[in-house]
Amino acid sequence: MSEALDVRSLHVRRGPREVLRGVTFRVARGRLVALMGLSGSGKSTLLRAVAALEPFDAGEIRVGDVRLTPGVRRVPGPDPLRREVGMVFQFHHLFEHLTALDNVCLAPRHVRHRTPDEARAQALALLTQLGVGHRASARPRDLSGGEAQRVAIARALAMEPSLLLLDEPTASLDPARRRALGESLAELAASGRALLVTSHDDDFVRDFASEVLILADGEIVEAGAPRAVLDTPRHAATRALLAAQDR
Amino acid sequence: MTRRLPRGSSSLWRRVAGGRVGLRVVAAVAGVLAAVRADAQPLPLKWAGDSEGGAPYVEADPRDPARVTGLDVEIAELIAGELGRRAQFVQVAFTSLDQSAARGDFDLALDGIEDTPARRASLAVTVPYYEFREVLTVRAADAARFRSLADLRGRRVATLGGTTAYELLLTAEREHGVAAVSYDDDVHPYEDLLNGRVDAVLLDNVIAERSMRRMPGLATQPDAVAIGHYVGILGPAQTQLRDRIDGILRAAMTDGRLEAILRRWLVWNDDQPRLYARIVQAAVPAPPTAAAPRASGWAMARQYFPWLLAAAAMTLVLSCLSMALAVCLGAAIAIGRVYGSHLVRGLLTAYVEIVRGTPILLQLFVIYYGLASVVRLPAFVAALIGLGLNYAAYESEIYRGALLAVPRGQLDAARVLGLSAWQTLRLVRAPQALRFALAPTTNDFVAMLKDSSLVSVLTVMELTKQTQIFATNLGSWVLPGALCAALYLAMSLPLAHLARRLEARWKAPEAA
């Protein structure tokens, strides 16, 4: 029951190309697992498969008590999976026509059927907790990259998922904000959630992840404690990844 | 035989010849041209009519649709023959004959054209060649109760727009409380009389008799509501040619050639010899007095302005309702084409392509006249449905494009949050698509205001039609056209302004 995510020999094929070739890993509650790999290694595909945005071809994904089966496209709408998994996209995808507050309230109101007042109070609390309470009435286009990201995290957390997926959350942040984000995410993990985060940033992973997975050519080539893996890389792909970071 | 020079060539000649440079060259060229001209055939007599109006005036020859036959065709040929010229037919829409004559598009128009004060004031008009009676035609069953316009209080009475009969009906509207209905042609009034859309038709006895022959079940009251005359019309400057034609017509009245033509087309009666006797004695009968004596343009504008306003209100109401229908239906079609099954998408695509690929005028005719045997829609409803269905096809393309323009990521985000497809559409996709669709939709609304003028073919009295009637009475398009344009602009400019404001508000949400 402590496993929030259990992925077993996951295969994803896109046309002739095998994007994921038998990926197996787990994320336990309370852990922040970082997923690293060069562009095209399959990180985003993995997150999208776990969020059931894209079907997979073989293997098994378990999110909490929900089991995803290969080749099945889940129907949009009320679904136990949606209570278990939240996602923060790299480009946030905040609803452009709604204020920050309404972005956070939308799903609790219409999917969880909270009253407007309940949803609003919860959303304001989340935005405040993440440091963007003062931006509640702003539209997405008027938010900075860091603010938009926090609103997107609040929107995902408002559905109280046990597993939170974040795609490249550090990509557009300066070092100070990266640190603040890391601390927020570590806090979320400490409060009992499972986090799976893709990142290119090895310093961020060293400082905040409880575990790192190195993905190369659709396979996990190395896994373990961040400092152990990143300070003494054994696999060529890991070395290539770190070399790419240094440039 | 005088050669007719194209209009304006004499002034051009003066300008060129008046210049000092090249005077000799010009003179030499002119000499050659004159020599060539002298050998050439005389120019044909271009005469105009509308073959859509049909027998007995001008109709396409059933045996050879490239040719026309009719009493006016024979009179035109008679005149051309006497002038030593060949008659050449020019097809001009009946309602445009006056303007076209004033422009000089042809020499003469003959097509059962009524003698009116407006025509006498703005055009050169021949002596009358036929006397007709304005008669009231009703359904045979109503012959005993609808004997005159006074019996038709509260009833719809139809006629051809822009005619003396229409003026008579407008007078009867005030005096007897009948409702005048204007048609663009003289066949559909009788069809609509038979199928109950109107209760009487007021038109020339020639047309009434023709319709009674074609459609059983009609009865024409014997008493004439008014007397009128058919004349030929020419451009206002063509008085010389007009006088020659008058001479030819008088001669044909005396020697029986005109009678022979009218007898051949079964319209000869005892009224004609009396008319001819007066004409030959050079007494031209006064035009009918049903139309008020021609007032000045401004006085008529004052008189017509309330009617134009009422017509503008009709245009606005019709456009708003049709646009509402088009937007709702268009949105439904767009959603069906984006979310529907293969079958639904196929059917909706077919609908859009058929509607976009055929003329709206044809669609309006089918809905109003074509479906009359199945469902007899009132003109306004038919117009509303016709415009709405047509515009729905165009709106649906805008909305489909707008839905597809909402970024994929927005839909992914909605999906991860657990929104259903319908919730995603309602709460995320449609509101965002609306912003893409707003400007083109407003654009289409402005277009609708103007396209709504097409429904005058269904007897809806909207702004353009009312302007046309005004212009026909006034004998000029300048003032009515300017008033009409001002009214259209008064409706469309605020809309454009509103659209810009809405767009600006949605683009800069901070201001809201």
- Sign of the CA dihedral A134, A136, A138, A140? positive
| pLDDT of amino acid B24 | 52
- Interchain pair A51, B416: CB under 8 A: yes
- Give the pLDDT band of residue A247 (cuts 50, 70, 90): low
Query: B244 is written with which tokens?
Result: 């020659």
Is the distance from CB of A241 to CB of A220 less than 8 angstroms?
no
Whether residue B290 has pLDDT greater than 60: no
Query: B284 is written with which tokens?
Result: 């031209």
| pLDDT of amino acid B51 | 81
| pLDDT of amino acid B487 | 92
- Give the pLDDT band of residue B28 (cuts 50, 70, 90): low
- Give the pLDDT band of residue B32 (cuts 50, 70, 90): low
| pLDDT of amino acid B352 | 96
* B507 in contact with chain A, both atoms CB, cutoff 8 A: no
Phi, psi of B65 (to 5 degrees): -60, -15
List of residues 6+ apart from B189 with CB closer than 8 A: B158, B159, B160, B181, B183, B198, B201, B203
Indicate the pTM of the whole model: 0.73
Whether residue B333 has pLDDT greater than 70: yes
Number of other CB atoms surrounding residue B495 within 10 Å: 15
| pLDDT of amino acid B498 | 81
| pLDDT of amino acid B12 | 39
Is the distance from CB of B393 to CB of B356 less than 8 angstroms?
yes
* CA proximity to B509, closest of A132, A95, A92, A137: A137
Is the distance from CB of A220 to CB of A206 less than 8 angstroms?
no
| Angle, CA of A37, A39 and A45, to the nearest 5° | 80
Is the distance from CB of B97 to CB of B57 less than 8 angstroms?
no
Task: Look at residue B429 and give its three-state secondary structure.
Answer: helix
- Interchain pair B413, A77: CB under 8 A: no
List of residues 6+ apart from B65 with CB closer than 8 A: none
| pLDDT of amino acid B291 | 45
Q: What is the DSSP letter of B426?
A: I
- Sign of the CA dihedral B409, B410, B416, B422? negative
- Higher-confidence residue of B157 and A78: namely B157
Q: Which one of B416, B422, B429 makes the best mutation probe of the A interface by having the most chain A beta carbons within 10 Å?
A: B416
Nearest residue on chain B to A47, alpha-carbon basis:
B416
- Interchain pair B416, A110: CB under 8 A: no
| Angle, CA of B369, B375 and B381, to the nearest 5° | 75
Q: Which of A79, A96, A110 sits opposite B423 (nearest CB)?
A: A110
| pLDDT of amino acid B470 | 78
| Rounded percentage of chain B residues whose pLDDT exceeds 90 | 42
Find the mean pLDDT for residues A182-203: 92
Residue B56: asked if its preceding bond is cis (omega within 30°), the reply is yes
* A94 in contact with chain B, both atoms CB, cutoff 8 A: yes
Whether residue B354 has pLDDT greater than 90: yes
Instruction: Compute the distance between CA of residue B232 and CA of residue B113 in angstroms, rounded to an integer.
Output: 7
Q: Which of B16-25, B65-74, B125-134, B397-406 has the lowest mean pLDDT?
A: B16-25
Strand partners of residue B64? B61
Whether residue B30 has pLDDT greater than 70: no
| pLDDT of amino acid A3 | 81
| pLDDT of amino acid B19 | 43
Residue A120 Rama label (left phi>0; alpha psi -120 to 50; beta): alpha
- Interchain pair B407, A93: CB under 8 A: yes
